[in-house]
Each structure stands twice: as structure tokens, then as C-alpha cells.
Structure 1
Amino acid sequence: MSLPTTMKAVGIYKTGDFDVLETLEQPLPQATPGDVLVKIHYTGVNFIDTYFRKGLYPIKQFPQILGSEGAGEIVALPTDEAVLASEEYKLRGFAVGGRVAIYGMGALAEYHSVPWDKAYPLPAAVSTRTGAASLTQGLTALTFATEAYDVQAGDTVLVHTVAGGLGLLLAQLAKARGATVIGTTSTPAKAALARAHGADHVVLYTQEDTVARVLELTGGAGVHAIFDGVGKDTFEADFKMIRRKGTIVSIGNASGAVPPFPPLKLVEKNVRLLRPTLNNYIYTPEEGRTYAAELFGLIAAGTLKVNVHAEYPLSAEGVREAQKDLTGGKTTGKLIVKVADP
């Protein structure tokens, strides 16, 4: 297969506001012997992209191509004999022309080289568009709702910003497991979308007292678990809505990072508090393959529906618009960048 020597990408030469995003022309990635080289069709847009862009998370060197997930077509396979001989590699059935979703910084580009264990085969029923729209948020929802707090039938869980891409997946997953789902969102339209994706009750935090409403819905006991991607603005209220021996799962920092707090804060109700990362739940090749296969199986079966809010072009202007829409609370579901036609 003939490949170009350069490619188009979007990234940064320094951290800062939206204006630091630039359209780049970069050399085609030089795959290491353990990598797969993928021609990207679609790239997902995530809050973590904005954290790197702003400098909240460290960047080792510039220029840095952004984007942490994508999906497309394999154009080159690993050459490391040890990798090719491993049983875990063989289980993935990789082949040139095969469709995969990939996880790793640098996906806002026409081509991306990633370690083989961060590439996940897509079943026939899942398109590359859906793969790019679901990988990070889907794996986050699945791992956090299994390992950070294992949602069970009979539980009542609270999902903040339930109409976002991650929130909709958490709501569907918890509902499929038999839990009662309470969500928070800002508008009636977003509330209707959340209900259509499994939320039993939706609190409009712009119009209602969230704490009072959640306690009313739970008979004063509070919820078994809270999945909170908002961060600073909702952290204190979480402790009022969690029940005794409940679990608060801090997912993200949409409103800013949670400030330092004394561990004694957990004592009043024997609360568990976690701030997990997806990377540590899919750390081994087996973990990643197992969770990805479960995720795409749930999507193929229709148990999880992926709601794409909008597509943007691969350009500095397109990615700026996507990040502004994401951080401005204007969106429901997932935002994606279209890189190439499948």
C-alpha cells in the first residue's frame, strides 16, 4: 500500500486558550515494531483534549497533536516477532484493511501509529464513526460502572450532566443492569434526551434545588453512587446526596479540578471516594481487549446507543468550534471530527 510522507493534523505548539490550536502538516508517523498504523476516519472530541490544551495535564514535547481516540483502517501491522507470536495479539485478528478503534494521544490526524494493544477490532455491526464516538466514553462508563462502583439491580445512582456523551452511556448501562437512574442537566430538551436513554428522573439544576430533589426521590437516604464529571461545582453537594457507605466516583473536571479537602470529610457517612482513570482499568492487553469487546458487543446488540451531536472538519477552526461547544455546555451526546470518508 502506497502511503504519503506527510499528513494533516491539529495540535498545539504551546498550551493556552482555544487560539493555540493550529492546523499542522506533520511527517507520517514512524511506527515502532510493536505499533499498528491506522488511517483515521473519525476522531472523538473529549474534555481531556481541553485539559492537555490548557496545560492542566502535562505535555512532554511540542508540537503535540491532540485527540485521544479515533477509528479507521489498519494500513500497517507490527513487525516485532515477539508481538506477532503472542496469544493476546493473535486474539485480535488484525489484518491490513481491518477496522479498529484506537486509544492514544495524537488521533486528530490523518494517520496515527499506536501500540497494538491500544487498537481494538470493530465488529461488522459497529461503524468507524460509532467506534470513534464510543471508545473513550464507552470504556470509561463500562469500567467505572464495574470497578469504581459495580452498579447492581436495585441500586439508585446519580449521574451528573446526564445528557452528555458519557452521561448518556452511564445512564443506559446502569438502567440495563436494573438500577434506578437520577440525572442532572440544564434544559428540558436535554432532560427528554436523558429519559430516552434510560434516566428515570432528571433534575434541572438551573431550576431546581438538586440536593433537595435527590433526597426527596430517595426518601432522604441518598443514592448508592454518584458519577460526577463536573468536579469543583458539584463536589460539596455530592456529600449531601450520597447515602451512608455510598461511593462518589469523580470522573472529570468540567467546572475545574476538585480542591484539596480533609480525609475526615469521608467519616460522617463512611463514604468511599475514587478518582480513577480509564488507563488504569485497561492497563493490560487482556483488560483492554475484554472491556472493548464487551463495549462493542453492547453497542452491536442495541443495549447501548451512541448519540452523535455533531461532526466537525479536521482543521484548527473545526476543532476550536468543537471544543468551545463541548466546554460551553451546548451539546448533547458525542462530538466527533471527520477526518476521511470510510
Structure 2
Amino acid sequence: MLTFSIAKHLKARSLLPSSTYFIQRTMSTMKAVVVEEYGGLDKLIYKDIEKPTASKDSVVIKNHIAGDAGEVTEVGEGVTDFKVGDRVVHLAGSGYAEYTEAPTSTVEKITHDISYETATAAAIQGLTALTLVRDGYPVKKDDYILVHAAAGGVGLLLCQLGKHLGAHVIGTASTDEKCALAKENGAEFTINSSKEDIVQRVNEITNGVGVHASLDGVGKATFDISLASTRRLGTLITFGNASGPVPPVNLSVLTQKNLKLMRPTLYNYLATREESRRWYDELFALIKQGVLKFHIHKVYDLKDAQQAQKDIQDRVTTGKLLLRP
């Protein structure tokens, strides 16, 4: 997946008057991908927009990788935790651009032994995977865990974390090649969803009991499968909408097996500075220990954002896609 939801996080601004274009382009504009109206991929427009400046309690970041990671170039009033030159990762909006203004509450420093590419891959997908297995369902040794889209960015990390925690990871993917990749990253079992019955295979693997937890980032297309695959007293976590949002659920379906149902969002784990630092510290420690490795499918130029999005829609990618301004 790309780093951010395009419609939510890209903001469009008007071009400056043509009479001042050259001067302003060299002093106060930047290249960015913007969405000015809803539509197809052709609505992702690469253009010049106004360069941001730092306001109170914010910093301006020159993005080395669009969306998440870069270098602080300006600090606003009241900022004491950051200085110009700091290498940082951020979860601010308007990230498909050369520069981003970010509230300091969304920014964390990164050390020089973590690349901007790794930091970007880690920020959204790494934190998502970590919070799922640590808080959403605290994975324990010998648990059976079902991971949908196991060859995707979050899926590969869930396979790695599940193996690290001693769980039996069952990964689903749409091709034999993607199943092989999931196995390389820690899945003990894989299910080719294009030619195998997932529920049947889960029952075979777990002797008819089902998994302790289903971690479902696909959404609408797999919710019922996850429900059927989860054992009595188990946990179903739906955390993504790759196939569309899950339709309204009659909660009485949970009573059949006394299931727990959760729909988390990452940002509610990062609501305070203390929470943010806790999760980032654990994530970066796992990276430095070699527990987590990030599969980067390709780094695209920012101007090629349309192609990157098309590749995702065509399901020809695995792991993480990055954009470089």
C-alpha cells in the first residue's frame, strides 16, 4: 500500500499568478501530488503548490521519502524537542510533496542507523502490525493466527512478528508466488485464496478448532471467512478495507462462539507523546535486532504516483511501495 490514503491526506492549493511564477517557484513553491476532485487515477495531479512554513508547535520537513520521513528544515514557535537537521519520521497529512508542515505531536526522531526508506515503511505498516499483535490480540507462544493478504506490507510484518512471538501463522495470498513470500517471512502455513477454501484449510490445520485470532486487513471480501475461521473465545480484528468496508454486522453473530470483535486505528495508539515514543521505541528496537525486515517492492518518483497506485490496483505488487520527491 502507499503510505497514506490519497483522498484523505493530499490537499490541493492554487497555482500562484503566472506573473510571479518564476520568482515564487525558486523561493516558496514546491512540487506535490494533489487531488482537486474525486475520480480515477488521472485526478492525481503533479504540480507546483505553495511551500509550507512552520507555525506554532510545528516543524517543516523536507521529505526524503514522501509521506513519512525526512529532515527538519524549519521549526516553529514553541518547538523545543526538534532542531533544524534532525532526521525524523512523521505521520502528518499532505505528505505527497517535497515539504510537509507537521505538528510536533506527529513527529519522532530516527537515528542514523535507520534509513529513510525503512523509517517510512515502519511508520505506518510497522506500527500497525506491532499494535495488532501486542494490544489488539496479545499473541502468545503456540497460538494459531490467521493473516489475510500475508504478502502485503502489513501482512509480511505480521508473519514476522507472529513467528518471533512463537505463534503458528497461517497466511493467505492470491498466488503461489505470494504464498512463498509469506513463508519466507515467517508463515508456517499458507493458503492460496484463488484456488483453496480458506475455512476448510484452517480447520484442517487446527484440527477443526479454528485460530485464536484472525487479523484481517482485507475487509468486506474476507470478514465472513475470518468469522468462520476463528475459534470459540477467539478474537477477530478487522483493520483494513482493501476490498471495501465491512457491511453493518449483527452483533449476535459473535454469540455463536463468544468472539471478540475489534476495529482499531493506529492513530488512537499514538494519542500522547508517551504512547508514541513507547511504540516507536519498541518498533525500532525490533528493527535493530533484525526481527523485522521490510520488503520494499519499488521506489517511484513522486511524479509517478499514478503508476504506483495503478500497480497496487492491478495487484502486481508485494510489500511496500514508496514515493521519492
After TM superposition, the score normalised by the length of structure 1 is 0.85
Task: Name the counterpart of 1:103.
Answer: 91
2:291 counterpart of 1:307: no
Letter in 2 for 1:245: L
Deviations 1:238-297 (A, max 9, x none): 111000011111011111111112110111001111111001111111111111121122
Deviations 1:186-226 (A, max 9, x none): 11111111111111011001111111001100110000011
Measured in 2, the distance between the counterparts of 1:212 and 1:181 equals 16
Task: Name the counterpart of 2:36.
Answer: 13
Unaligned runs of 5+ in 1: 44-68
Measured in 2, the distance between the counterparts of 1:329 and 1:244 equals 34
Deviation at 1:30, TM superposition (A): 2.4
Letter in 2 for 1:6: T
Task: Name the counterpart of 2:72.
Answer: 74
Deviation at 1:32, TM superposition (A): 1.6
CA RMSD in angstroms comes to: 1.3
2:107 counterpart of 1:119: yes
After TM superposition, the score normalised by the length of structure 2 is 0.89
The alignment partner of 1:126 has SS state of coil
Measured in 2, the distance between the counterparts of 1:215 and 1:96 equals 55
2:46 counterpart of 1:23: yes
Measured in 1, the distance between the counterparts of 2:275 and 2:192 equals 37
Note if contact 1:9-1:24 (Cα within 8 Å) is conserved in structure 2: yes
Unaligned runs of 5+ in 2: 1-25
Runs of 4+ in structure 1 deviating by more than 6 angstroms, as ranges, are: none
2:261 counterpart of 1:238: no
2:202 counterpart of 1:214: yes
Task: Name the counterpart of 2:323.
Answer: 337
Decide which of 150, 160, 179 is 2:167's aligned counterpart. 179
Deviation at 1:328, TM superposition (A): 2.4
Note if contact 2:53-2:74 (Cα within 8 Å) is conserved in structure 1: no
Deviation at 1:327, TM superposition (A): 2.6
The alignment partner of 1:249 has SS state of strand
Task: Name the counterpart of 1:64.
Answer: none
Letter in 2 for 1:41: H
Measured in 1, the distance between the counterparts of 2:274 and 2:240 equals 26
Measured in 2, the distance between the counterparts of 1:193 and 1:95 equals 41
User: How many residues are treated as equivalent by the alignment?
Assistant: 300
Measured in 2, the distance between the counterparts of 1:123 and 1:152 equals 30
Measured in 2, the distance between the counterparts of 1:176 and 1:95 equals 36
Task: Name the counterpart of 1:40.
Answer: 63
Which structure is richer in relative contact order (CA contacts within 8 A, separation 6 or more)? 1
Note if contact 1:78-1:116 (Cα within 8 Å) is conserved in structure 2: no
Note if contact 1:139-1:295 (Cα within 8 Å) is conserved in structure 2: yes
Letter in 1 for 2:199: V
Task: Name the counterpart of 1:199.
Answer: 187
Note if contact 1:159-1:167 (Cα within 8 Å) is conserved in structure 2: yes
Task: Name the counterpart of 1:145.
Answer: 133
Task: Name the counterpart of 1:61.
Answer: none
Measured in 2, the distance between the counterparts of 1:184 and 1:287 equals 31
Task: Name the counterpart of 2:11.
Answer: none
